[in-house]
Amino acid sequence: DIQMTQSPSSLSAFVGDRVTIACRASQNIRNYLSWYQQKPGKAPKLLIYSASSLQSGVPSRFSGSGSGTDFTLTITSLQPEDFATYYCCQYSFGTPWTFGRGTKVEVK
């Protein structure tokens, strides 16, 4: 299976900060990566697919980049509703879908 490593596992930030979360795949997954936001007691919500495509209805302060093995999720100006846990997920053809362990974004 392809392993997905997220960093950091948690971070503290102020409202208005720029936040960057990294995700590294154990092998080349081209751009077959998605990002999800999860709040306590809720299902994950799709933010980004195909590494950099913004899901409809998701604010433009969220963006994704990368290809191959290294990917990044960026929140340009953190809002109060953005405090949550973020997960990356790879979907390279022929392999099981695998998720990162998550990055918890907390208020500083």
Partner 1 sequence: QAQLLESGPGLVKPSETLSLTCTVSGDSISNYYWSWIRQSPEKGLEWLANIYHSGSTDYNPSLESRVTISVDTSKNQFSLSLSSVTAADTAVYYCARLQTPGYFDYWGQGALVTVSS
Interaction site with partner 1 (CB under 8 A): 1, 32, 34, 36, 42-46, 49-50, 55, 87, 89, 91, 93, 96-102
Q: Which is nearer to partner 1, 17 or 22 (CB)?
A: 22
Helix (H, G, I), strand (E, B) or coil at 81: helix
Q: Which is nearer to partner 1, 50 or 77 (CB)?
A: 50
Q: Which is nearer to partner 1, 17 or 58 (CB)?
A: 58
Helix (H, G, I), strand (E, B) or coil at 107: strand
21 forms beta bridges with 73
* Min separation Cβ 96 and partner 1, Å: 5
Q: Which is nearer to partner 1, 49 or 82 (CB)?
A: 49
* Min separation Cβ 24 and partner 1, Å: 16
CA 46 to chain centre: 9
Interatomic CA distance for residues 100 and 34, integer angstroms = 11
Token digits of residue 75: 């929140």
* Min separation Cβ 84 and partner 1, Å: 14
Strands 33-38 and 19-25: unpaired
